[in-house]
Structure 1
């Protein structure tokens, strides 16, 4: 097919600039959303810029309804219905998709990670969605309230995402989370992993991805924000747990999960496996995903023998 010549392109551009605002408002929701693409639309004409500037609520509603499934929207209940919210949604979906594509390479050929597939990829994603919901809480108190309100089925997926993220970064992450750092010093490793879990609860999946990228570029002289944040947390978390009136998020999660499972703190990991190995998680539908993220109790299913 022949490409349009210069005169045809100029005519098409001029036609777009002459469109009435009602037509522009109908066109915009059909354009695949991305922050950069949306900014480009503003430059087409004053009419496009005016439509985007003055009709945020209706355009956001139309874009969400046309370009995203209902289950996707409700998986991020804390996002505002705004252009900023759309940009955040686009970024989060891109991060989750990128991690899903990367996961086979992370786990292939490594006996320590070979089990992190199939069912457990899904568990990691469920916990990642809860990390995003935690991020959307505006205050520390709101985050602790959310953690305390979650049922055991939701908390177990969040607990698993912390657990599995540590395992992945022990193999692929930078120092100090890499398993070769302070190897053989059980107390030091416990402090490092505790600090990492706290930072993951605070900063979400971007923190994990930043450390993962840093692990693939060990020659880089700049430590990166995630490594700096982790280093600082390692030096302060013990003092905060002992002396601060504000509880750490990881301590809230651990205590709340133990209370719901009626077990000791040291039994949390065993109880996590017990919950996640239940038949209710055998086929995770969109409905189950939404219930986990919204903190609804998953009913039904059976506990597997031996767990």
Structure 2
């Protein structure tokens, strides 16, 4: 990861000062770096030491960061990772344009890797992510959104980049098709579980720990799995209150809604969905071909990464 961070710092350079300021601001905020770490872990589990893995891990982080910059503008978010969002500090226009810079820099870097298959996987993933963002925008303030529609969004918006990260590692390792698909399945399932838990935390977490405002999803009119599960369980008056909040983006009665979501069992049901996705990831990691002691340590780390999602609180 230190090698990846070195690539990130090296490739953030621009002759336009504002580009570097905004890019360093959001990337310097930290974050979990889950996607690049995933790529490196899968490489390790497959015994791949190709030097391009660090560049591709940085590419994945650049694509992810670009989506964050754009997301915060679309969602009118004010807080991320415990501090003001880039759009709060630099304005919406700068955030959108620097997001574009990060996308284009990512594509420059993937071209440098010199392999058409790698470029195709990343180009396809980026396109699917953009479609997922638009789909989520279309679903805003729809109080009748169902579970299938929600899952379609998160598989495109979040899980696709996880899937691509794991698949890229398999491609670098020269893995056979079955192993590549096992890696892709692991990434997709891990990404889905990660997003579901993230959506749960928007209703049960703590602002100080999360680094974002509790109830942001409700304010933005996003219907996530905890709400969908709650609407199936609560009384009709409670459901009416939640639907009104979704349709209007109103958070005046947020405390009441949080209480309903928490006591209805909706959070537990959503976490059970996340657990099923995590278990699917674990099964895929267990299907990877066995290797020497070093490779087995990496595979164990993949298993632990999936298992730790179930206890994630921030």
State the TM bucket, normalised to the shorter chain. under 0.3
Q: Which has the higher contact order (CA 8 A, sep 6+)?
A: 2
TM-score for both structures, normalised by structure 2:
0.27
TM-score, structure 1 as length reference:
0.28
Q: Counting helix residues as a fraction of each chain, which structure ranks higher?
A: 2
